[in-house]
Amino acid sequence: MTAVLRTESRKLARGTFVLTGAFALLAAFMLAAFPAMAEEAELIEQAFPEYVGGLFGMEAMHTLEGFYGSYLFPFLWTVFFGVYVAYVGGGTVAGDVRERRMDLLLSNPVSRESVLLQKVASLWVPLVVVNGALFALLYGGSFVLEESIDPVVLAMAHLLSIPYLLVCGTIGVLLSVVADRTESAQAGALGAVFVLWLVDGLSEMDPEFEWVGSLTPSHYYDPAAILIHEEFGLVDAGVLLVAFAVLLTVAVGLFVRRDI
């Protein structure tokens, strides 16, 4: 039974297309600024207050790995993409229930578990398309800038973003199952992901609060470590996948019990 997955995937196509375009444009602008920034890298790293370094990393900015890992990826992936996927997740259930689409859908011989899992599975569209397109652009960019970057390492930065993004998306799905309105679920989800990212960055400032950061998903996705130090953090990815599974189980549990 993949009918729901097919239709939901198609529904995400348009948004994904727009997002890919926006990301490509942003990334292109950033790449255009890279030669100038590389020259001033030391200055930039010093000029920003410490907490900005905490949020983005700001490390080894004179290399393309450092530029990608501590500026482009944290900005585009950890924040923007995370927020977008959370937003999409927030739109999975609440709107369908409110607009009575769920009534018709569930009159088919398909279980609620299956409906929700297929909706979550449809997140493959933005995850795969945006990562694929941006990998091509960022790798291609290295040639244009006459720099070099290891494609395997770059691919790992993309690949390991997926568990993180799945957690962001499921935060949205969970809120969407609970909320009465799509808007509340979406706003709540993107707000939550953004705040969690802020908390993660700020917690690094004070050793006393470092443990708080370990409760945030972005803590377990570190593009700087992947790109600059080639530390792939597979355990961290595992932690994210477990969190994803737990959130999804809770969402399914709530969805099968609620009145529609």
Q: Is 106 in the site for another protein (CB under 8 A)?
A: yes
Q: Which is nearer to another protein, 100 or 155 (by Cβ)?
A: 100
- Which residue of 108, 148, 214, 249 would you call a contact of another protein, by CB under 8 A? 108
Contacts of 52 (CB under 8 A, 6+ apart): 58
Q: Is 110 in the site for another protein (CB under 8 A)?
A: yes
Q: Is 249 in the site for another protein (CB under 8 A)?
A: no
Which residues from 2-41 bind another protein, rule CB under 8 A? Answer: 2-3, 6-7, 11
Tokens 């355990």 found at = 235
Neighbours of 190 (CB within 10 A): 23
Q: Is 181 in the site for another protein (CB under 8 A)?
A: no
Q: Which is nearer to another protein, 1 or 195 (by Cβ)?
A: 1
Q: Which is nearer to another protein, 15 or 53 (by Cβ)?
A: 15
Which residues from 76-105 bind another protein, rule CB under 8 A? Answer: 96, 99-104
Q: Which is nearer to another protein, 10 or 51 (by Cβ)?
A: 10
Closest CA relative to residue 60, chosen from 75, 50, 74, 71? 71
Residues that bind another protein (CB under 8 A): 1-3, 6-7, 11, 96, 99-104, 106-112, 256-257, 259-260
